[in-house]
Structure 1
């Protein structure tokens, strides 16, 4: 089974990214999605190479955001594809059957298409407005998650769904009640002064042990 908590990396430089990822791993995260867009390929390779070593050390999953060829080159555990990225089937033909392929969705139709094309998990969002992502898709809110997950259940679709987009600690319990599998967190962990505490609280809330 997949980890219920994903950390999506932040940082404008290789050094910032590595610091944030190392701190997330050191304080209990076991799944890292490296998001490092609009940077030189040499920098992306340097970062990916270092993160792979870190994730091996911490026994964590390492997923590369949208860069399929880099994920293949670095032997990452998988890749996460946005709605405008390479198709799942093409990514699968490059990476093979053993790698994890996640895909971003904003609607039930997106999810149907992704599952038909063979994705392993869905990143569904955004829950709220977030500055982390440019060209944000329409905001779903809790009602949107409930409606989409209900449609999935009615259609017998069981692929794990992660909520994403501006999520706070207080959102976890109501989100889990919609039937999602887990959450993908970026800013909340990156900006936390006490990362160990926030990651522990997130994990507790994700597993139903609510700590206010």
Structure 2
């Protein structure tokens, strides 16, 4: 399935670390109202049963706003909830095997940290790439920071949309201008905000300026 680069502009990745005043569902809806263009549901600590129940609810919400819905890592949950996409890391199931399981109708996103990994992922069926870490990040403390020249080289080496991820926030999005990325994937910059909708509106404008 082809991935439209317009949908990669402002890619939100959930993290329930910042739930409290609002449920994850409410936070996601605020982000959708604020203009995110894609949502990835990331759950590392839920059972498959709980993850699937949540995925069905949030997929329906994304459908309402006409925004693509990705599942992080869990291929079985992605298939069962009818997700638009599945995203896997280098240490997860190989893209080729994921494609065998999900068929041609689901998008596959793959994390890449080098030109070699990026080219290999696309060869094995990736429809889009998440590239990073771009800046140091508290979400993945073991992630190595990539030089922006590597990001640019990856964008030149592949024909699929590339999303930058890792430590990206309002005050550094502009540093990605000219690298060739099609958008940014954000976790804490969205879900740790006091006003998620307003934050996403601002991030959307900054992302649009970044790709011009």
Q: TM-score under structure 2 normalisation?
A: 0.88
State whether residues 155 and 162 of structure 2, in contact with CA within 8 Å, keep that contact through their aligned partners in structure 1.
Answer: no
Q: Secondary structure at the match of 1:6?
A: strand
State whether residues 72 and 87 of structure 2, in contact with CA within 8 Å, keep that contact through their aligned partners in structure 1.
Answer: yes
Q: What stretches of structure 1 move > 4 A for 4+ residues in a row? A: none
More divergent stretch after superposition (44-53 vs 125-134): 125-134
The 2-side partners of 1:189 and 1:68 are apart by 25
The 1-side partners of 2:188 and 2:154 are apart by 29
Residue of structure 2 equivalent to 1:5? 10
Q: Deviations over 1:167-200 (max 9, x none)?
A: 1112212213222111001101111123233212
Give 1:111 shift. 0.6
The 2-side partners of 1:180 and 1:30 are apart by 15
Q: TM-score under structure 1 normalisation?
A: 0.88
Q: Within the alignment, does 1:91 sit opposite 2:94 as a pair?
A: no
State whether residues 12 and 187 of structure 2, in contact with CA within 8 Å, keep that contact through their aligned partners in structure 1.
Answer: yes
Residue of structure 2 equivalent to 1:171? 172
Matched positions, count: 204
CA RMSD of aligned residues (A): 2.1
Residue of structure 2 equivalent to 1:145? 148
State whether residues 176 and 182 of structure 1, in contact with CA within 8 Å, keep that contact through their aligned partners in structure 2.
Answer: no
Residue of structure 1 equivalent to 2:192? 191
State whether residues 176 and 206 of structure 1, in contact with CA within 8 Å, keep that contact through their aligned partners in structure 2.
Answer: no
Q: Identify which of structures 1 and 2 has the higher relative contact order when contacts are C-alpha pairs closer than 8 Å and 6+ apart.
A: 2
State whether residues 131 and 151 of structure 2, in contact with CA within 8 Å, keep that contact through their aligned partners in structure 1.
Answer: no
The 1-side partners of 2:130 and 2:209 are apart by 21
State whether residues 131 and 164 of structure 2, in contact with CA within 8 Å, keep that contact through their aligned partners in structure 1.
Answer: yes
State whether residues 155 and 180 of structure 2, in contact with CA within 8 Å, keep that contact through their aligned partners in structure 1.
Answer: no
Give 1:152 shift. 4.6
State whether residues 6 and 183 of structure 1, in contact with CA within 8 Å, keep that contact through their aligned partners in structure 2.
Answer: yes
* Unmatched runs of 5 consecutive residues or more in structure 2: none
Taking a change above 3 Å as real, the CA distance of residues 151 and 27 of structure 1, as seen in their structure-2 partners, is closer
The 2-side partners of 1:83 and 1:97 are apart by 21
Taking a change above 3 Å as real, the CA distance of residues 92 and 151 of structure 1, as seen in their structure-2 partners, is closer
How do 1:33-182 residues align onto structure 2 when only pairs under 5 Å count? 33-133=40-140, 136-140=142-146, 144-150=147-153, 152-153=155-156, 155=157, 157-182=158-183
